[in-house]
Chain A
Amino acid sequence: MAADAWRQWAAFAALFNPTADPSPLGTFRRSPAAFAPFFDAEQFAAAARAFHQSGEDSQTAAAAFGDFLRDQFGGALDGMWGGAASGGSAAAAEEAPALGPAREQQERLQRAAAAWRRLDHAQRRLKRLWSDALGEAARVFVSRLGAPAAPPTAEALYGLYDAWIDCAEEAYARMAHGEAFGATLADALKAASDWRDESAASIEHWAKWLDWPTRREINTLSLRVRALEEQQRATRRERETPARPAAKTHKTAAKKLRGRGKR
């Protein structure tokens, strides 16, 4: 039954991983096109099988299972926050004094490089926090594992997987609610925003030389159109509004005065 479940997971993962080569372990390596959740689940099933079939003592087997989980899910957040930014420039180049006619452009490039470096640092901090949380999740998970036994049922395999997901989510939640994660996420977003703005300004600088339209120009036009639309709406409202009550009151008051005069 358990073997069926493993075969099922493996077969299904393989369908989403069509160009993969079989690995020596009987599973397969992940191809770039593979769909991560199925691939990860298949690898999880293989690790669970190894855990249950190992002749080692339960602590060693559990520790190996825990190490596997840290390795396998270490990149789980990469798709969300991006891998660590690479490249960038040396800090020294960012400090170089900008002189001459190209100084503005040089300073802009320096600011972009500095933003990229801050993004790189923030992403590394996020990865470190994630790695710590994953380590905690793996520790809790293996502490809950029983001794390796006969092959588990398919239901037990799903139960094991669910238990791992629970551990991972709990550890992640503790980290994600923490001050450090929020602050680092904010740093990453700010650095990415700064890099985008400086890069856009650089590109716009050259666009002007080529007499191409720039985003700034389009924004100015958009705001002008918006102001005109608002003006048009105000005019329409004014036209549609019946004579002002104040004017009526004035007229009525004038009539009253006239009436009084007649009397």
Chain B
Amino acid sequence: MTSRLYAALSAARHCAPGCSEKDEVWRSGKVRLYRYRSISPTPSAVPLLIVYALVNRPYMMDLEPERSLIRGLLSRGLDVYLIDWGYPDGADRFTTLEDYLEGQLAGCVDEILKARGLDALNLLGVCQGGVFSLCFAALHPERVRNLITMVTPVDFHTSTDLLSKWARKIDVEAWVGQANVSGDVLNQLFLALMPFRLSHQKYVDLLRGEVDRARIENFMRIERWIYDSPDQAGAAFREFVVWFYQQNRLVRGGLAIGGRSVDLSTLELPILNLIGTRDHLVPPASSAALRGLTRSSDFTTLELDLGHIGMYVSARAQRQVPPAIADWLAAR
């Protein structure tokens, strides 16, 4: 059994993530905008733009055929676009949140709206990408029709938020200096949230049960994703930690991007907030706080018994998340 497992792991070491066909439709610097090819005879008229976090690679949304949130959305007729932020290098150290939001995210939205002849689209923000989506919707309400936030931190000062507790004590100015922040270092911080489960137990779990090729390949793809952590553009990272983690400006107010105020209480659009009740990275209470901060009269919270990563790759997520999103959008 052990040699079969070893052989299966060895065979799976080159398993590449990504399974749905897509086309690059726009680029700016290192940022790429992709449109996924429709697999439904009747694709929806209003596109859905997925805004992923900067801290990991977005291919997690389309890991493999049986575990692909994007495939699930495509099969339900949604017209899906995805932003790939790329890998920042030393030349990007002065890139700010304003550049990401008002330059690159706004550029992607403009491109889609222009190409499709529309005034507004649907946004799906994941984790940090959810924060970006909230900010963008507040800055440009006319360009967002419906907003979906998934495992998105909103209140950064909830009592169980370990990452925030650490971040609030850190001298981020000194840490970043004028450099980028190493993705590997950030990865260590994320793993340190639950070091025994994330760095020990999950490997021992491989020994349980039969050697199943699909399970091993899935494991290796996720393993690859976990350690594929782009460095973070220094200026944007510093702003994100100070404004959100340390000063909690989404809740306390005072957030401005590019000199323009970002006030969640101005949000009136329909919002679907997806929360993982077992999320160790973004405590459920942090996401749930969104409900009390907007003026949306069409606000839906969907709590799922899933963890942060399980929200897009677990088998249960495949059954629950795409239909929930598709049905919610179809009704609007």
Residues of B within 8 A of A223 (CB): 94
Residues of A within 8 A of B207 (CB): 8-9, 12, 41
Any A CB within 8 A of the CB of B5: yes
> Looking at B1, B175, B193, B201, which has the most chain A CB atoms within 10 Å of its CB?
B201
Residues of A within 8 A of B174 (CB): 189-190, 193-194, 197
What's the Cα separation between A239 and B64 when bound, in Å? 46
Any B CB within 8 A of the CB of A226: yes
Contact A76/B195 with A190-B174, A193-B171 known, Cβ cut-off 8 Å: yes
CB closest residue in chain A, given B7: A15
Q: Could you say which of A9, A79, A172, A219 contacts B196, with CB atoms under 8 Å apart? A: A172
B197 close to A165 (CB less than 8 A): yes
Interface string of B163-187 (1 = CB under 8 A from A): 0011011110011011000000000
B2 close to A11 (CB less than 8 A): yes
What's the Cα separation between A219 and B177 when bound, in Å? 12
What class of interface size applies to chain A in its complex with B?
Answer: 35 or more
Any B CB within 8 A of the CB of A35: yes
- A contact patch SS: helix
Interface string of A175-219 (1 = CB under 8 A from B): 011000011011001100110110000000000000000010011
Interface string of A223-235 (1 = CB under 8 A from B): 1001000000000
> Looking at A9, A36, A37, A222, which has the most chain B CB atoms within 10 Å of its CB?
A37
> Looking at B2, B3, B91, which has the most chain A CB atoms within 10 Å of its CB?
B2
A80 close to B203 (CB less than 8 A): no
Contact A158/B171 with A169-B196, A172-B195, A219-B93 known, Cβ cut-off 8 Å: no
Contact A8/B2 with A165-B201, A193-B174 known, Cβ cut-off 8 Å: yes
Chain B residues engaging chain A, CB cutoff 8 angstroms: 1-3, 5-6, 90-91, 93-94, 162, 165-166, 168-171, 174-175, 177-178, 188, 191-197, 199-201, 203-204, 207-208
- What are 28 A-B pairs with beta-carbon distances under 8 A? A8-B1, A9-B207, A12-B2, A37-B199, A40-B200, A41-B200, A41-B204, A76-B195, A76-B196, A79-B188, A79-B199, A80-B188, A81-B188, A158-B204, A162-B201, A165-B196, A165-B197, A165-B200, A169-B194, A169-B197, A172-B196, A176-B192, A185-B166, A186-B166, A186-B169, A189-B171, A190-B175, A219-B93
